[in-house]
Amino acid sequence: MIFNIQRFSLHDGDGVRTVVFFKGCPLRCAWCANPESQAFAPELLYDPEKCLGCRACVRAAPNGELYWRDGLCLRRDSGIAAGRFAAVCPAEALSLAGEEKEADEILAVVERDRVFYRGKGGITLSGGEPFAQPGLAARLAERAKGRGLTVAAETSLAVPWDCLAPSLPFLDQIFADVKHLDADKYRRGTGGDLALPLGNLARLAADGIPITVRVPVIPGFNSKPGELEAMADFAASLGNVTALNLLPYHDYGRGKYRLLGREYPYAGVKSIPPESLAAAADRLRRPGLEVGVGG
Amino acid sequence: MSSAETMSDPCRLPPAPGGEMTDRVRRLRDGILAEKPGICLDRVRIYTRVHQEREDQPIIVRRALALKETLARMRIRLDDGELLAGCHASRPRAAPIFPEYSVSWILEELDDFERRPGDAFHLSGEDKSTLREILPWWKGKTLFDKGLALMTEELRDIYAAGLIHPDGILTCGDGHIAIYHEKLLEMGIGGYLREVDERLAGLDSRLAGDVGKRLFYQAVKTSLEGMALYIGRFADLAGKQAEAVASPGRKRELVRLAEACRRLTSEPAGSFFEALQMACFSQLILQIESNGHSLSLGRLDQYLFPYYRRDFLAGRLDGAEAVELLQCLWLKLMSVNKIRGWKHTRFSAGSPLYQNVTIGGQTPEGDDAVNALSYLILRSVGGARLPQPNLSVRYHKGLPEAFLLECLEVIGLGFGMPAFNNDEIVVPEFIRLGVEPADARDYAAIGCIETAVPGRWGYRCTGMSFLNFMRVLLAALANGRDPVSGKTFREGEGDFTDFTSFGQVMRAWERQAHFYARALVATDTAIDLAIEENVPDPLCSAFTDSCLERGLTIKEGGSKYDFISGLQVGVANLGNSLAAIKKLVFEDKLLAADELLRHLDSNFAGPEGERVRLLLLNRAPKFGNDDDYVDELTARAYGLFIDEYERHVTTRHGRGPVGCRYYAGTSSVSANVPQGATVPATPDGRKAWQPLAEGSSPASGTDRQGMTAVFKSIAKLPTRRILGGVLLNQKLSPSVLRTESDRRKLAGLLRSFFDDLKGWHVQYNIVDRETLLAAKREPEKYRDLVVRVAGYSAFFSVLAPDTQDDIIARTEQKL
C-alpha cells in the first residue's frame, strides 16, 4: 500500500528521482509531518474548508459511513471505503491516502520520467516505512534495478533485519534516520525500540552500502548540543556513512492532522528556520563526514 | 576557428556571474532607472514637417528624407561617464511618436498616459497641445487607416469583436527582425553607399521595374547619409566635450569615442569598441526608422568575437573592460522606450522592446560556438540585472557543461534570464523548410522566443496577429455564434446540446478553427499590403539580404527567407476544456451539456455553479501533468488549426524569398491576461474574464506533477509545426538553484528536455511568492525587481495589477 508517488524529486538521492511513499510505519513520532503515512490502512482526509456541502459523498454512503449533521461527519473507525468517497467529491475536500498498487503499476509511473534519469536518477522508496512492506519494497527495488534505474531508500530502519535483507542487493543508496541514541528517549519519542535501527546500522556498516544519516532536529527531543554531538560521533564511527543531514523541525504537517480528525501532538512548538541550524552543522563536522542542513 | 582554440584564449574573465558593476555602470544605471518614462516630440515634429513639405515625393523617398532629417536634427546628448554614444530620443526612456503608423489612439488616450494603472508615460501640457496640433494631419493617412481599409467588413468585425487582435502590427508595423551585423561591421556605411551607387548606375530607366528599384536605392542612400550625419554629430559632441573636460581619464575616453564615431561615419569597424558602438548605433537608428518592436541584435558573441579576440591578443582590451562596455550597451538598450495604445499595452506589459541578444549555439559548420565573449555577455547581463537585453542562449547537444551551469547561475539571480532555445529542433526544422544548413545554424532568437536567421529573414518571424482560441471554442459550442459579440461569423455544426458524441465537438472546433485560420491570414494580408505601400523601411531592408541585390524592400519580397507565424492564445485552456467535455459530459456523464452551458453562462454562479466548476477543474485531466488523455487531445485540437493555417502563403509569395509560408506560434507575451479578459467562463473550470494559460505553458495552478511532467506534456505538442515558438515559462523558487549540485541536476533536466524530448524553449522565473506579494504591496521597495513575464523580462513594479496577480498565481514548482 502506498499513499503517493512524487515525480521530479531532486533531494532524495542522485539525479532526478521519483519517490514512492509507502503507507504504514511502525513508529509513531509525535512530530511526524506525514501523519497519513502512519496507518497501514487507507484513510480519508477531510478538509471542511474546501467542502461545498453538496453531499455527493453522503449519497454514496448508503450505510451511513458518512452523514450530514451541521456539517459532514465521518465514522473513521468503520473501515470505510475511503476511495469511493474521495472519488465523488468535486471539491477535493475528501481525499484518499492509501492505495494498493502492484510493483509494475508503480513502475509504470516511475518509467514516465525515464528520459530525465540519465543513468543517475531513478526510484526512491520512502514512507511511512518502506521496509515495513518488505515484499513490495523488494519487488520494486529488484525490478527497478532490472530496468537500469538506480534505487534509493529513505528509512527509519525500525524494522527487523529480515524485512530489510530482501531489498538490500538492489539498493544503491540509503538515507537512514537516526533520531536519538538513548533507548528510553527514543521509545518515548517514537514508540520504537532503538535496538532495531542500531542493530541494522551495524550490519549495514559491515555490508558497506553508502548511507546518508538524517537527523530530524526536534526541539525538546534531540536538539541539545550534546545529543547532536553524540549522533554525529556515532555516524562518523560507521565506516559507510559519508554524510549527515540535519532536518530542521517544521510544522507543515499540522494541517493534515486536522484533515485526519487527529490532534497535533506538537502544537505550539515553533519551526526551526534552516539558517539557525547552520552553526550547529559546523560544529558537527567530523573527518570523513559531511554535514548539511536540509534534505 | 575551433572552439578549443577560442576557449584557450587566456581571457581574464571577471570572476562571478552577477559580479559587481563598476561605479560608472552603477551610476549610469541608477540614472536611467530614475528616469520617468516620457514622450519625445522630436521625431513626430520632423517627420510631420518633411511629409508635409515633400508630399510630391514617392512615399519611400519621403520616409528616407524624414529619417535623414530626424537623424540630423533630433536633440542628442552624451552624459557624463558614458562610454558609448547614441540616443533614441531627447531623453533616456522617452518614447518617440510614430504618427505614420497610427494616431487615433494617441489622440484618444493623450490625457490618460499618466494615469494608466501600468506603463504610465509622462508629458507636459505643452507637449500635449503640440500633439493635438500635429497629429490630426495624419488622420486617414496612417497604416492603421490604410490597413483597415484593406480589410473586408467581416475582418473588421472580427477584429472589433476581439477574436483576432492584430493591433501590434496595425498600429506599429512589423519589427521582429535582426539585421546582418557582420556585413555592416565589415563594409561600413561607406561600403554600402558604394554598393548602392554601383547598383544605381546599372539601372535602365526605360524599364518600369527599374524605376521602383531606383527609388529604393535612392531612399537607401538618403537613409545611409542620415546615419552618417547622426554618427558624425556624436563625433563632434564627444570631441567638444573632450576639449572642455578637465579630467585626463575622461578626456581619453571622449577622444576615443570621437575618433571611433568619426571613423564609423564611413569606415568599417576596426576594433571591438567600434564594432560595439556600431551595433549600438544601428540598433537605435533602426528603432527611429520604424516602430515595430523586437528589433534584435542577433548573435552578438559571434560577430563581435573576431574584434574582441584581435584586441585582446594585442593587449588592447581585457575581459573586465569588455564587460563594462557591454553593460554600457545594455544601458543604451534600456534607454529605448515605446508607447503603445492601452489596449495593446496590456498585451506587452512592462513596455518591453524585446531587444534580443543571442549567445551560444553552433557555428555554420555545426561545431560548438561558445567563446570567451559568450561568457562575458552572460556575465555582463547577470551583473547589470536589467530587463534589456532579452538574453537567449542557443542550446545544443555539444553545449559545454560549464557554460550551461553558468547560465543556470545567472538564472538563479532571479530576473528571468537567460532563456533557452534549442538547436536540436530549430536547425533541422529550418533545413526541412528549405533554409540552407549554414544559415539554419546561424539562427538567432528574435524578440521573445521566436527564431530567424539574422540579416537574411523578413520582418515578423512571429505574426503578431493574436487568435483567441477560447473564443473560437465557445463559438464552436454555440453553432458558430461568438458569445461576446453575439455575431456568427461562420455557421457551426449545430448546438452543443444536440451533439451526441464527442466527435461532433471536435468537428465543430475544426470547422471554426479553419475559418479563423483563414481570417488570420486574410488580416495579415491586408495589413502586410498596407505596410508595404505606406511605411516601407529602406534602411532596415538595406541591411537584410537580398534586398539590395533584388532592389526590393523586405515587404516587397527582398529578403532571402520569409516565414511568419501567428500567435495562438489559450492552448492549454483549449485542451483542458475539450478533455473536461469529453470525460465529464460524454464518458462519465456527470454533467449534461445544457447543464454545463447554463453554468458557463452564469459564470458558475451559486453553490451549484461552484460545484460544477470544481468538477470541471478537479475531475478532468489537465494539460501539464504528463497525462496522455488531455495532452493528446490538446495536440490534436491545435493540430487541426495548424492543418489549415500552414496551407497559406504571405504577400511575398512568388516575389523572391524562400518560404513565404505560415506556421503556428505561441510566443504570446502577456497577451494571456487581456485575451482572457474578453473570454466568458470556459469548460476547463476557468471563471469568466480570468487570464488564459500563457504561451504553451499549463494553465495557472493546474500542473501538479512537477517540472518533468510539464516537460513531457509540452513535448507532446506538434512542436515541428509550431516554429513560431513553444513558449514554456516555469517559475522556480530560489532554493532550486542554490547549490552546484542542484544546478547540475537542473542542467541534466534541461538536456533531457532538449536532446530527447526536443523541447523548443524554456525560461525560468526564480522568484518566491512572498517576494512578489511584497513587491505588489510596496512597489517602491522593489523598483529593480525584474520578473519574467512571458518571453521577456520586465520590472514587476510597473506591471498592471492583474498581470502581477497572474505571475503570482503561476504554479511555483517546489522541490
Residues A235-246 have pLDDT tens digits of 999 999 999 999
Minimal Cβ distance to B615: which of A11, A90, A118: A90
pLDDT for res B17: 46
What percent of chain B lies above the pLDDT cut of 70?
A: 92
pLDDT for res A61: 86
Mutation site, A5, A14, A16, interface B, largest B CB count within 10 A = A16
Minimal Cβ distance to B712: which of A9, A16, A112: A112
Q: Residue B731: which H helix or E strand, with range?
A: strand B729-732
Minimal Cβ distance to B745: which of A15, A91, A92: A15
Q: From the CA atom positions of chain B, what is the Rg in Å?
A: 26
pLDDT for res B11: 40
For A163, residues 6+ apart whose C-beta sits below 8 A from its C-beta are A131, A132, A134, A137
pLDDT at residue B389 greater than cutoff 90:
yes
* Mean pLDDT calculated for residue range B284-294: 95
Cα(A103)–Cα(B18) distance, integer angstroms: 47
For residue B456, how many other CB atoms are within 10 A of its CB? 23
pLDDT for res B795: 63
Q: pLDDT band at B814, cuts 50/70/90?
A: very low
Q: pLDDT band at B16, cuts 50/70/90?
A: very low
Q: pLDDT band at B783, cuts 50/70/90?
A: low
* Mean pLDDT calculated for residue range B538-564: 98
pLDDT for res B6: 38
CB < 8 Å from B in window 110-139 of A: 112-113, 115-116, 118, 120-121
pLDDT at residue B10 greater than cutoff 80:
no
Instruction: Name the residues of B annotated as catalytic.
Output: 448, 450
Question: Do B530 and B150 meet the contact criterion of CB atoms below 8 Å apart?
Answer: yes
pLDDT at residue B815 greater than cutoff 50:
no
Q: What is the pLDDT of residues B693-709, one digit of tens each?
A: 999 999 987 888 888 99
What percent of chain A lies above the pLDDT cut of 90?
A: 72
Chain B contact set for A88 (CB, 8 A) = none
pLDDT at residue A150 greater than cutoff 50:
yes
* Mean pLDDT calculated for residue range B96-116: 94
Write b or e for each residue in B6-36: b if 16 or more Cβ atoms lie within 10 A of its Cβ, otherwise e. bbebebebbeebbeebbebbeebbebbeeee
Which ipTM value was assigned to this complex?
0.94
What percent of chain A lies above the pLDDT cut of 70?
A: 98
CA distance A122 to chain B (A): 13
Picking from A129-143, B62-76, B603-617, B759-773, which range would have the lowest pLDDT averaged per residue?
Answer: B759-773
CB contact under 8 A, B757 and A115: yes
Residue B20 gets the label, from left (phi > 0), alpha (psi -120 to 50) or beta, of beta
pLDDT at residue B3 greater than cutoff 50:
no
B492 vs B742 pLDDT, higher one: B492
Minimal Cβ distance to B708: which of A52, A91, A113: A113
For B181, residues 6+ apart whose C-beta sits below 8 A from its C-beta are B279, B282, B297, B298, B300, B303, B454, B455
The residue type at B254 = L
Q: What is the pLDDT of residues A249-272, one digit of tens each?
A: 877 677 789 889 999 888 888 877
Nearest to A177 by CA among A159, A148, A151, A157: A157
pLDDT for res B676: 94
Work out the mean pLDDT of chain B and round it to a whole number. Answer: 91
pLDDT for res B811: 43
pLDDT at residue B189 greater than cutoff 90:
yes
Chain B CB within 8 Å of residue A278 CB: no
Cα(B326)–Cα(B15) distance, integer angstroms: 16
* Mean pLDDT calculated for residue range A189-198: 97
pLDDT at residue A29 greater than cutoff 70:
yes
Q: pLDDT band at A80, cuts 50/70/90?
A: low
Chain A contact set for B707 (CB, 8 A) = 8
Picking from A78-82, A268-272, B712-716, which range would have the lowest pLDDT averaged per residue?
Answer: A78-82
CB < 8 Å from A in window 701-740 of B: 705-709, 711-712, 736
Instruction: Give the torsion sign (CA, B534, B547, B287, B115).
Output: positive
- Give φ, ψ of A246 to 5 degrees: -90, 125
Question: Do B65 and B222 meet the contact criterion of CB atoms below 8 Å apart?
Answer: yes
* Mean pLDDT calculated for residue range B768-772: 75
* Mean pLDDT calculated for residue range A4-30: 92
pLDDT for res B798: 65
CB contact under 8 A, B752 and A6: no
Cα(A40)–Cα(A27) distance, integer angstroms: 12
Work out the mean pLDDT of chain A and round it to a whole number. Answer: 92
pLDDT for res B804: 76
pLDDT for res B785: 65
Mutation site, B596, B705, B735, interface A, largest A CB count within 10 A = B705
B5 vs B774 pLDDT, higher one: B774
Q: Is the pTM of the predicted complex or chain greater than 0.80?
A: yes
Question: Do B274 and B260 meet the contact criterion of CB atoms below 8 Å apart?
Answer: yes
pLDDT at residue B201 greater than cutoff 60:
yes
For residue B565, how many other CB atoms are within 10 A of its CB? 26
Q: pLDDT band at B197, cuts 50/70/90?
A: very high
* Mean pLDDT calculated for residue range B522-535: 97
The residue type at B668 = S
Chain A contact set for B626 (CB, 8 A) = 7, 112
Q: What is the pLDDT of residues B631-687, one digit of tens each?
A: 999 999 999 999 999 999 999 999 999 999 999 999 877 788 889 999 999 999 999
What's the grid cell of residue B112?
A: 490618460
Residue B759 gets the label, from left (phi > 0), alpha (psi -120 to 50) or beta, of beta
Picking from B38-47, B132-141, B699-708, which range would have the lowest pLDDT averaged per residue?
Answer: B699-708
